[in-house]
Amino acid sequence: MTKRASAGVYLIDFACYKPPDSQKCTKDFTIRTAKRSGYYTEETVDFFRKVFEKSGIGDSTYLSEVYLQEIPVLSMKLARREMEMSIFGSIDMLLAKTGVRCEDIGILVVNCCIYNTMPSLSSMIVNRYKLNENISSYNLVGMGCSAGLVAIGLAEQLLKAHRHQNSYALVMSTESITEGCYLGDDRSKFLTNCLFRVGGAAILLSNRRSDKHISKYKLIHAVHTNKSSSDLSYNCIIQEEDSAGKRGITVTKDLFNAASSVIESNLTALGQKILPVSEQLKYLTRNIVNSITRKLQPMANVQPYVPNYRRSIDHFLPHVGGKPMLDGLKVNLGFDETAMECSRMTLHRFGNTSSSSIWYELAYLEAKDRIKKGNRVWQIAFGSGFKCSSLVWRATMTVGFDQMNPWADEIDEFPVNVEDDDHGPLPYFGSSK
C-alpha cells in the first residue's frame, strides 16, 4: 500500500487593514498629546521624544482613537471598536479579493496578544460572517508579535489533518494598542506607547489541490522555536502593574539577549532545511575551527561564520520590532540595505503593528512588482515568551498590481531616506527583573 502524499498548503491571498486618515498622526502630534494629557512627567515626555528620534517610525502611522483624546480614557468600548475596524476591514477586503464564500471556510485562527474579551474575537468573526456551526475555531492570546506566524503554523497543521475535507483556513492577525496604552511614568512600560500602531491582516489558506493554480504562494517550511523555559526569556516582556497600580507591559534590558538567543536557535533549525549542503558544511567547519581557536587563543578576535542565506531565499521579511532590531538582523545575517528595504519602509510608514507587520512588508514587495514566480520569501517574527517563528513560501505566480494593496496609492513615493532618524541606539528603557 503506497503512502498518500501530504497535501500542500497554499496562500490564496491576504489583505492588510489601512485605517482612515483621521487616525494618522505625526510624531510631534503624539508627543504634544502625551504632554497635554497630564499623565506623564516632563522626563517621560522627553524620553518619548528620544525614542521617537531613534525608532525608524515616520509621520504617517496610525493610532487608535484613545490616543487622539485630549485626556485618554481607556474603555472596553474603544478597544472593541478598534478590533472591529481592524478585523472586519481586513476580512471584508480579503473576501472581496478572493470571492471565497463564508460557508466554505472550515478553519478559523485568530491571534491578538493583549485584547482578550468574552465572547472571543474568533466568536465575533463567526457571528459577523455567519460562519458554519461546525467550524474549527481557535483564539490565540498573550503570544506576542510572533503569534501571526504561530497562527499560520496552527492553520497549516489543521489543513494537513483535514486534507480530505478540502478546507479553507482564515487566519486573522491583529493587536489592540488601545488595551496596550500605558498611562503611567514607569519607563520600562512606556515602549509600547512609542512603537506600536494600528494594523491587522487577514490571510486565506487552502489545502485544495485545485487552488494551486490560483494561489499566490505555497508554504515550503515552517520552523517554530520557544524558549519560555528560560526565566530571562520569560520575564523580558511581561504585562504587570506599576507601583501606582497602572497596568502596562514591562520591557527589560534583557530583551535583546533573549531575542538573540531564540533567533539563533530558530536560524539553526531553519538553516538545516533551506541551506545548500555546501553552505551547511562550511558553517559547521568554520564553527569547529573557531571553537578550537578560542580554546588555544582565548584573546583572539574570532568572528562567527554567517551562512549566506541569500543563496536560499529571494526576499527577507523580518518583524519590524524597531530600528535597532532591524539593524542587528542586517549585520548578523549579512544582508545589505536592499534586502532590508521592505522592513524599514514598513516600520517608517505603518510602525510596529505587531503580528501583522510581516504582511505589510509582503504587500510592499507585491506593490513594487518584485514577487516573481518561483521566488522564495522568508518571514521571521519574534515576541514575548520568548518565541521565534520562520516561514518560507514559494511564489506560485508573478504577482501583479492590486488596487486593494495598502501601499497602492503611494508606493511610487518609496523608498524614502530614513537615515536622518539614525541618532544612535535607543536610550535605556528597561529594568532587569
Q: What is the pLDDT of residues 9-25, one digit of tens each?
A: 999 999 999 999 999 99
pTM for the predicted model, two decimal places: 0.93
Instruction: State the pLDDT at residue 6.
Output: 56
- Residue 314 lies inside a defined structural domain of this protein: yes
Same structural domain for residues 91 and 144? yes
Same structural domain for residues 48 and 164? yes
* Domain edge (last residue) among 218, 251, 273: 218
Taking residue 409's Cβ as centre, other Cβ atoms within 10 Å add up to 11
Residue 399 is part of a domain; what is its CATH number?
Answer: 3.40.47.10
pLDDT at 346 over 60: yes
Same structural domain for residues 210 and 295? no
Same structural domain for residues 20 and 164? yes
pLDDT at 214 over 70: yes
Task: Give the residue-averaged pLDDT of 50-60.
Answer: 92
Task: Give the separation between CA 196 and CA 347, rounded to whole angstroms.
Answer: 10
Average model confidence (pLDDT) across the chain: 90
Same structural domain for residues 379 and 296? yes
Q: Phi/psi of residue 331, each to 5°?
A: -70, -50
Same structural domain for residues 200 and 275? no
Q: Is 134:174 a contact under the CB 8 Å cutoff?
A: no
- pLDDT tens digits, one per residue of 350-393: 999 999 999 999 999 999 999 999 999 999 999 999 999 999 99
Instruction: State the pLDDT at residue 307.
Output: 82
- pLDDT tens digits, one per residue of 31-47: 999 999 999 999 999 99
Q: Provide DSSP, 153-201.
A: HHHHHHHHHTGGG--EEEEEEE--TTTT---S--GGG-HHHHHB---EE
* Domain edge (last residue) among 187, 218, 249: 218
- Residue 272 lies inside a defined structural domain of this protein: yes
Same structural domain for residues 173 and 234? no
Same structural domain for residues 36 and 184? yes
Reported confidence tier of residue 298, pLDDT bands at 50, 70, 90: confident
Q: Is 27:218 a contact under the CB 8 Å cutoff?
A: no
- Please state the separation of Cα 143 from the chain's center in Å: 11
Instruction: State the pLDDT at residue 259.
Output: 92
- Residue 432 lies inside a defined structural domain of this protein: no
Same structural domain for residues 168 and 242? no
Same structural domain for residues 248 and 112? no
- pLDDT tens digits, one per residue of 248-292: 999 999 998 999 999 989 998 999 899 888 887 776 776 666 667
Q: Is 302:291 a contact under the CB 8 Å cutoff?
A: no
- Residue 427 lies inside a defined structural domain of this protein: no
With a CB cutoff of 8 Å and minimum separation 6, the contacts of 416 are 58, 345, 348
- Residue 2 lies inside a defined structural domain of this protein: no
Cβ burial, residue 108 (10 Å; 0-12/13-18/19+): buried
In terms of residue numbers, what domain contains 346? 224-405
Based on the structure, what is the number of domains in the chain? 2
pLDDT at 424 over 60: no
- Residue 411 lies inside a defined structural domain of this protein: no
Task: Give the separation between CA 403 and CA 409, rounded to whole angstroms.
Answer: 8
pLDDT at 105 over 70: yes
Which grid coordinates belong to 203?
490571510
Instruction: State the pLDDT at residue 7.
Output: 66
- Residue 430 lies inside a defined structural domain of this protein: no
- Residue 319 lies inside a defined structural domain of this protein: yes
Higher-pLDDT residue of 11 and 188 is 11
Same structural domain for residues 380 and 340? yes
Instruction: State the pLDDT at residue 106.
Output: 95
Same structural domain for residues 237 and 315? yes
